[in-house]
Structure 1
Amino acid sequence: MKTVQLGRTGEQVSQLALGCMIMGTVTPEDEAVTMLDRYVDVGGNFLDTADCYCWWERPGSFGGESEELLGRWLKKSGKRDEVFLATKGSAVVRDLDAVWKDGKADWDAAYRTFVGAGAKTLRDAIDGSLRRLGTDHVDLYYVHVDDRSTPLEETLEALAGIVQAGKARYIGWSNVRTWRLERIRQLCAQHGWPAPVALQQQHSYLRRRAGVRHISIVDDEQLDYLETHDDLTLVAYSPILKGIYDDPEKRRGHGAMIPYEGPDAEARIAVLTEVAKEVGVTPNALVLAWLMHQTSPEIVPLIGPRTLQQYEAALPALDVKLTDEQLHRLDAAGA
């Protein structure tokens, strides 16, 4: 597996990151451990989790199952020094009673009850994450969901303290508007605080349709910002949009398609399907390969397989070599 530099840190992370969100809940532990072992065996080193994973899978849970599983795996495997470990804070829910209705998680309510990114909240959160992970530090610590109710100065000073204490080596941000990201960077420069080196946002081959307001999906402005600020690496979550590229029936009416559906998406999927046949991989795998071929900005796709089979289905993307002509067709496709 190839590696890329994370921002300008000098740290080399694998070009394909492994998301561990549903490990320990949806994905049974034995299957998750096999995935982790195989990922490291092929040269992967970039593991991603969060303290809130996965409260919405189990009524009564505040999260932490993913970090706990990773902690057990790290202890048993002895591979802590071989991986670049990322986790996140700020998106644990305060009140479980407020976010469960008729046995289903209410995400609108959840967003209103996140603990946020206050100084004490983050200090307590990183300590909890380190305890569950069984390590004295993480390599990358994200603000999971941008918190506009807390002054940025408070959040950034707390993060600087976490880095100074050796509990995290670098910081990142997720689910954030570009103007907020620029303000964050200005404050860091002004006060000498560590600035984000990674931006984790939803990004895929499809482009969100006109008129969609979505804080988490990369738009043209954010891409332009990243092109001119190479000290930030884009970590692209949901790169294959829950696997919709391989199955026209699955795409029809799927929630992951709602922000993208329309003539532009149809035109891009048509070209994607053609090129996938030419190179002998699935459309899902080609999306991952296309993302890894991007250089401005450089992108690290973050896969989150539910099963070992889904994990194995992503690996052919690592061997895809796209010609300039194929890349041009993929890039130029659209209504």
Structure 2
Amino acid sequence: MKKVELGRTGQYVSQVSLGCMTMGTSTDEPTSARILDAYLDAGGDFLDTANCYAWWEPGATGGESESVLGRLLRGRRDRVFLATKVSAGITDLPAARAARHPDGTVDWAAVERTFEGAGAAVIEREAEASLRRLGTDHIDLYYVHVDDRATPLEETLSALDALVRAGKVRYIGWSNVRTWRLERIRSLALANGWASPVAVQVQHSYLRPTGADVPSVAGSELLDWLSQHPDVSLAAYSSLLRGIYDDAAYRESTPIWRSYAGPDSEARLAAVAKVAASLGASGNQVALAWLLRKGVIPLIGPRTWKHYESIAPAFTLELPDELLSVLDNA
């Protein structure tokens, strides 16, 4: 698996990151272990989790993913680059659960009202809790999971910098953040000599959303900003949009498609199908290969072993220039 530099840190990580959100809940521990082992054997080392994963699963409260990773990484912590997050832990679990509707839609405004935020006390407490669950003495990359506008950035950045200076965190990042806020965060950090974000994590895939601009999805402004700031890497979650590139029936039934449905996506899906047929690959594999050619660090989040097996060939799938052009010009 290809290695890429994280920002301009001198730290190289596998370009495909393993999203561990469902590990310990909907992905049981034996399956989690099998997926992790296969990913490591393929040359992967960049693991992504969060302190809130996965509170929405039956019987879960958050922290389950970190806990199972802590067990699975015993004796081999030095083989991985470990990312986790803070600020979206749930303070009112019944209210957060009530905001998730049976049809798959979510009242995100209601969920966000239950988030713990990114105040200094939360960061200090939750970093220690994550370290305990993960069974480690340091976090390689610590994200603010959801940008917290109610807390002064100076407070958040100072608290994160204190963790870096104490050796408990190596690098910091931000997730689900607007471009103007990211610029302000970076400027404040550099002006004060604080740790500055080396990664931004947002949703990004080959298809382009048709809905309203939201901070959780990489829009043209953020992509342009990133092209001028190579010290910040783009880590793309939902890189395969839950696997919609291959299954038309599933695509039409899943809520995520509502943000992408339209002529532009239909044209791009046709391009994916054409390239997939040329390569003898699946549409999902082609979509992942496209992100890799663009220098993005895509996250994959396989829930089952079958999911992992279907994605893994993309780690080394060659996408020739002429087929890249087909995708880019759709």
Q: TM tier, shorter chain?
A: over 0.9
- CA deviation after TM superposition for structure 1 residue 23, in Å: 0.3
- Report the 3-state secondary structure (helix = DSSP H, G, I; strand = E; otherwise coil) of the residue aligned with 1:252: helix
Residue 303 of structure 1 corresponds to which residue in structure 2? 300
C-alpha distance in 2, partners of 1:318/1:162?
33
C-alpha distance in 1, partners of 2:268/2:97?
37
Residue 66 of structure 2 corresponds to which residue in structure 1? 67
C-alpha distance in 2, partners of 1:260/1:123?
38
Out of 315, 320, 329, the position equivalent to 1:318 is 315
C-alpha distance in 2, partners of 1:161/1:191?
13
Q: Which moved more, 1:62-71 or 1:313-322?
A: 313-322
C-alpha distance in 1, partners of 2:178/2:285?
28
C-alpha distance after superposition, 1:47-84 (max 9, x if no partner):
0000000000025x430000000000111xx1101100
C-alpha distance in 2, partners of 1:101/1:173?
27
Out of 316, 324, 328, the position equivalent to 1:327 is 324
- CA deviation after TM superposition for structure 1 residue 108, in Å: 3.4
- CA deviation after TM superposition for structure 1 residue 319, in Å: 2.2
- CA deviation after TM superposition for structure 1 residue 97, in Å: 2.3
C-alpha distance in 2, partners of 1:26/1:273?
30
Residue 251 of structure 1 corresponds to which residue in structure 2? 251
Give the conservation status (yes or no) of the 8 Å contact 2:99–2:111.
no
C-alpha distance in 2, partners of 1:102/1:168?
33
2:93 paired with 1:92: no
* Distance change (3 Å), C-alpha of 1:102 and 1:272: closer
Give the conservation status (yes or no) of the 8 Å contact 2:99–2:110.
no
Question: Please, what is the CA RMSD of the aligned residues?
Answer: 1.3
- CA deviation after TM superposition for structure 1 residue 106, in Å: 5.5
C-alpha distance in 1, partners of 2:47/2:316?
21
Give matches, 1:7-18, under 5 Å: 7-18=7-18
- Report the 3-state secondary structure (helix = DSSP H, G, I; strand = E; otherwise coil) of the residue aligned with 2:149: coil
Give the conservation status (yes or no) of the 8 Å contact 2:213–2:219.
no
C-alpha distance in 2, partners of 1:46/1:218?
21
C-alpha distance in 2, partners of 1:212/1:62?
31
Equivalent AA in structure 2 for residue 244 of structure 1: I
Residue 48 of structure 1 corresponds to which residue in structure 2? 48
C-alpha distance in 2, partners of 1:38/1:157?
38
- CA deviation after TM superposition for structure 1 residue 34, in Å: 0.8
2:115 paired with 1:114: yes
- CA deviation after TM superposition for structure 1 residue 207, in Å: 0.6
C-alpha distance in 2, partners of 1:126/1:101?
28
Residue 136 of structure 1 corresponds to which residue in structure 2? 137
Give the conservation status (yes or no) of the 8 Å contact 2:99–2:108.
no
C-alpha distance in 1, partners of 2:69/2:37?
11
- Report the 3-state secondary structure (helix = DSSP H, G, I; strand = E; otherwise coil) of the residue aligned with 2:56: helix
Equivalent AA in structure 2 for residue 190 of structure 1: A
Using the size of structure 2 for normalisation, the TM-score is: 0.96
C-alpha distance in 2, partners of 1:322/1:19?
23
- Report the 3-state secondary structure (helix = DSSP H, G, I; strand = E; otherwise coil) of the residue aligned with 1:242: coil
Residue 201 of structure 2 corresponds to which residue in structure 1? 200
Give the conservation status (yes or no) of the 8 Å contact 1:100–1:106.
no
Equivalent AA in structure 1 for residue 43 of structure 2: G
Unaligned runs of 5+ residues in structure 2 are none
2:170 paired with 1:169: yes
Percent identity reads 56
C-alpha distance after superposition, 1:71-114 (max 9, x if no partner):
00111xx1101100000000011111222339867543211110
Unaligned runs of 5+ residues in structure 1 are none
Residue 183 of structure 1 corresponds to which residue in structure 2? 184
Equivalent AA in structure 2 for residue 157 of structure 1: S
- Report the 3-state secondary structure (helix = DSSP H, G, I; strand = E; otherwise coil) of the residue aligned with 1:155: helix
Give the conservation status (yes or no) of the 8 Å contact 1:62–1:92.
no
Give matches, 1:284-299, under 5 Å: 284-294=284-294, 298-299=295-296
- Report the 3-state secondary structure (helix = DSSP H, G, I; strand = E; otherwise coil) of the residue aligned with 2:197: coil
C-alpha distance in 2, partners of 1:99/1:84?
31
Using the size of structure 1 for normalisation, the TM-score is: 0.95
Q: Which moved more, 1:159-168 or 1:108-117?
A: 108-117
Equivalent AA in structure 1 for residue 152 of structure 2: P
